[in-house]
Amino acid sequence: MLIEQMTNREYHQSMLLFSGALRELNTKFEIINEEFAIRLKSNPIEHIKSRLKTPRSIAKKLVKKGLEPTLENALEYIDDIAGIRIICSFTEDIYRIATVIQAQNYIKVLKIKDYILNPKANGYRSYHMIVEVPVFLSGKTEMTRVEIQIRTIAMDFWASLEHKIRYKFESEVPQNINEDLLECANIISSLDEKMLSLNNEIERYKL
């Protein structure tokens, strides 16, 4: 069982790779943000968060997929053991950063899911990328998968609170709560659009 493998050398070696991949990407994104600040006088990235899934969370996800919760299955079937979240100011910044990521020759993009153009049924909006990045060890280089989520501040606010609210229910969330959460998601989407419009108008005054 994955929970019992926490002290295994193989488990710690795998987590070292994921942790290294997160540090690599975090540094790269900070440099990109500094470059935008110098070259374009713009900071599209507000802040960056990263995390490794806990063994318990990994095991739970595998069981939900109908798989035995082993380290081998985790490494093969779970794409988001390592996750990095980029929080942007405006919606257009999300696509700007995504384009920059895809242009990096050392990052291999495996999957893209655009939940901004195609929100989930509950109202969730975010831009997801599954990528592989090289992690350099003493004797070899390992390609390691990371999930990148790119959101606005408003999208992240909604997603964080929605997650906390859902975890208060041991069973299914009541329909009226789901409807209210969806309404809040739509309000936040409208707010993002309005703030982007205001920002574009302000930029025109600078010309």
| Consecutive H or E run containing 113 | strand 108-114
Q: In whole angstroms, what is the distance from residue 65 CA to residue 129 CA? A: 20
Please return the burial class of 73, using the count of CB atoms within 10 Å of its CB with bins 0-12, 13-18 and 19+.
middle
Confidence of residue 2 (pLDDT cuts 50, 70, 90): low
Q: What is the pLDDT of residues 16-38, one digit of tens each?
A: 999 999 999 999 999 999 999 89
Contacts for 130 with CB less than 8 Å, ≥ 6 apart: 79, 80, 109, 110, 111, 112, 145, 146, 147, 148
pLDDT > 90 in the chain, percent = 70
Where do the domains of the chain lie, and which CATH numbers do they carry?
A: 3-206 (3.30.460.10)
Q: What is the pLDDT of residues 170-191, one digit of tens each?
A: 667 788 888 888 999 999 999 9
Confidence of residue 6 (pLDDT cuts 50, 70, 90): low
Confidence of residue 205 (pLDDT cuts 50, 70, 90): confident
pTM: 0.90
In degrees, rounded to 5, the angle at the alpha carbon of residue 151 between the alpha carbons of residues 32 and 48 is 45
